[in-house]
Structure 1
Amino acid sequence: MSWWCFPFEHLIGALQRINTNEHIGGASCKMEATIIKSVTCTANMRHWLHRPDCPEAVWQLKIMFNKCFVPANAVKPENGLRPMKGPRRAYARWDAANFSAAKTHPGNATIIYQPTPCEKPIAGQIQDIRNITTPSGFTVELHIRPFEHLPKLLYDPFSHYPHLSATSYSSTLREKKDIIRLEDIVAHAARFDYSYHRTVLVNLSRD
């Protein structure tokens, strides 16, 4: 209860992506053994690459390895972003949270954001994340389709409970996209679609 489960879910996701060669769990424990062997081999390889007596030829492979798989203890850039190949990104990490396009991960794509600094935060869904080259390096922009406002004819049952940080919208997304920066994101949002094409979104800000 009252515990942030993202680290555990992240670990489960990493385990699920391990190639198990179509083995399944059970009495023989083939799947479990395959996962353990994969994790052990990866740990042993990283340990070998960090040894002072590591051969030069292998050391050169370490440089290539780190370019493909950024080490967890690598020094992060000042803005917390790492350059990636190509103009589009599958995800972007900001303020200790991952944000993805809807096609990549719908749960990480639903957000509360500010379209402009003068406007109130609204809800939307990330459609695309792109790298944008600038004179000083690069930045990231997000293309958002905001949720349509709830029509006045439809009742919002959550309007009487402002402490819930829940707002009802139409479940329809606008065609016109907003283009924002990562710092314009307020938080992820939990979404639930209910009757009459209504959807309620809860602000998941940890502030």
Structure 2
Amino acid sequence: MTVNRSSRPKTISMPDLRFVQNVIANTTTPSWVYHVPRNFGEKGAGTPKADEWRLMSTIYLPIALTLLWAEMTGDHTAHFSPLLDHSMAIFQAITIACRYTLSSARAMAYRVFLQQWLGDLHGLYPRMKTPRTVTNPHVALHIYDFMLLFGPVLSWWAFPTERLIGELGKVNSNDHLGGQHEATLLNTWIRGANLRRWINRPNCPAALLEFYRLFTVVLGIKLGDKPEAGRTDTKTADSSPANYHYDGVQYSRSGKHLGNSLVIYLQSSGKIDAGSIEEIVVDKQQEGVFKVRRQAPLPEGKNDPFMRFPHFPAKRTRQQ
């Protein structure tokens, strides 16, 4: 793909950057989604970390650029439309790579999007000097093979290891060299991992569970505090609490925390809808029921710019 350089407009102008920053500031997210700098793109924001780039690529930039470029009118429409498709190709690839579940179809879509992004890179950005044969794009293409071998990327990516290295770097070694310090850290880590594994097993010995209970009471440290799948860890006498924990996720009424109230749910008809939790009702068995305000579909004839990007899970609605 080639473009005419003679009348090429600026890809991101200062007003466009301000729009991206407004999207960051005004997008409602769950409490477990970390924040990114609201002055993203400015010198004062510093160098974005890897996790901040992940959030920008899977939430904020796709929303901002789609709203900016998908419905653009005027002389530059033909210029920005392929730029949007190109940007959304890499964003959809990253979104697939960050999903909790994976299939062969999703893995194939990841590779197709990445190939599309690499193939159109120099045609759309002719001044870019980075060749397509550098290491990072080559390795990124091989992630497809690793997806087929090992499943979802988050189950084998290096972020937990990097975080562990950062924590280990803070440990005082008293200048012990020759492997003694490293061996102590490794053995301690293995013992802790084995203990956590035993505590979370359904056939954990009663004596070990009792020691764990005492350990938790005295030190306030939990080693196996994740509830069983499909179970709630909410314990409340309030029949209409503001928050409800289920399967490791916190849900809230919209009046308490709007981000934690936004849900996607399956209707009895099989249709998938989005909405916000307006009320939580908990019975004596601590089973919760959510009363949800549905997000109404767009009016007839109103365009949803996100429909053209099937692997970016967003759609435009209006509140009902």
Which of structures 1 and 2 has the bigger CA Rg?
2
Which structure shows the higher helix fraction? 2
- Indicate whether the TM-score tops 0.5: no
Which structure shows the higher strand fraction? 1
TM-score range, shorter chain: 0.3 to 0.5
